[in-house]
Amino acid sequence: MPFQPDEDFAAAMDAGDPLRGFRERFFFPTPAERPCVYFCGHSLGLQPKTTADYLKQELRDWAELGVEGHFQARHPWMPYHRLLTEQTAELVGAMPIEVVVMNSLTVNLHLMMVSFYRPTRQRHKIIVERGAFPSDQYAIKSQILFHGFTPETSLIELTPRPGEYCLRDEDIDAVIEREGDTVALILLGGVNYATGQAFNMARITQAGHKQGCVVGFDLAHAAGNLQLHLHDWGPDFAVWCSYKYLNGGPGCIAGCFVHERHARNWELPRFAGWWGHDEKSRFAMGPEFSPMPGADGWQLSNPPIVSLAALRASMDIFHEAGIARLRAKSESLTGYLEYLLRRRESPAFSITTPPEKERRGAQLSIRIAENGRALCGRLTQQGIFGDWREPDTFRVAPVPLYNSYQDVFRFVEALAAALGLQPA
């Protein structure tokens, strides 16, 4: 259906949305008299209303059972992380043996680089996008230094063409082909946090493997946002957090993917911990490490049950909604947002996120020409939540699980009023 600019259209789209009921399953902040517009799920997702019940169950079992909760809890804690395995595999397009929920994103990134960044004098470079999330930059540079190289000689940053904000596929291909025989690792974000650009992960993986490079992805802004097919695309590894689109709560436990072809490669070096040890002999407390096959073998310590419980509350909702249906709605919601913004085109703002739906997720990054931080603050006071990033970018994400077409309409009207734009 072609988009239309009036609020009646937005209301009609919401009325016909088969996923509209999921909105009622989340708590929204209430800083203003009107219901808020929460477009900040790319930074911290909303809390499912069931989260408290999931947490209370584990707290109750802890209170009543003590240590026996590991085996006698309603959901025994010893295998608890496996309650998320099937749903996680479904979410990222993987086999169950390829995924594990553990640690935090940057910890998992370091663990993966221990195994998969094995620099030599000939191959020591890492390809990353310029403007990658700072934590990734810190981790990558520290790994390069740890191995005795320097970022000045071992870090290749993919840079957009002059006057552009996003990378072109052909330019990524060209760098991989030109530098490939010196590259040990290609490590890109699935979606760039600043521009909202979604990368063609299948194409990058194929190009990298053709040159003999290891390929990994940071999916912090992609998991729960894009429809992923990690097993079929074939990267060597991927990592992600769970507090953005996955609504696991602040600092929630993260996720990791290791492709099946590495599942029983016992020669891969790794930092070991007892939860990655073969579960059949884990409690024999032997001195020699025998890793579990697959991603489970990269675990270090027993996982935090309370954090897993919070994530389960959201993942059960994701499983019910289905990532394919969520992605279809997301493409429509974000398209509607862009449509309304384009109707208000003005020197006061511009959109830096790619216009093609296959090259973006739920996020649009809007450059504000003047006084953007103050504008963002005023909107927040009105109950319009986005995310400001220096020096000039207002990031907003209509999340399909809990955002509506009327949210989109309200946001654009509020932004236009804050910028002093005339009605379209």
Q: How many CA atoms lie within 13 A of 384 on its CB side?
A: 23
Q: Write out the residue limits of the CATH 3.90.1150.10 domain(s) in the chain.
A: 7-48+323-419
pLDDT for the residue 30: 82
- Residue 185 contacts residue 147 (beta carbons within 8 Å): no
pLDDT at 178: 97
List the chain residues with pLDDT less than 50. none
Distance CA 192, CA 183 (A): 21
Beta strands 349-351; 255-258: pairing state: unpaired
d(Cα 424, Cα 416) in Å, to the nearest integer? Answer: 9
Backbone angles phi, psi at 290, to 5 degrees: -125, 100
With respect to CATH, is domain 79-319 assigned 3.40.640.10? Answer: yes
Q: Which pLDDT does position 190 carry in this prediction?
A: 97
CB 205 within 8 A of CB 73: no
Instruction: Supply the DSSP string of 70-127, one letter for each residue.
Output: HHHSSS-STTGGGGGHHHHHHHHT--GGGEEE-S-HHHHHHHHHHHH----SSS-EEE
pLDDT on residue 421: 87
**pLDDT tens digit sequence for 148-172:** 999 999 999 999 999 999 999 999 9
Q: In the chain, which segments carry CATH 3.40.640.10?
A: 79-319
pLDDT of residue 32: 60
Question: CA gyration radius for the chain?
Answer: 22
Q: In the CATH scheme, what is the code of domain 7-48+323-419?
A: 3.90.1150.10
pLDDT tens-digit map of 107-125: 999 999 999 999 999 999 9
What does the pLDDT read at residue 424?
67
Which amino acid, residue 398? P
Query: Helix or strand or coil: residue 25?
Result: helix
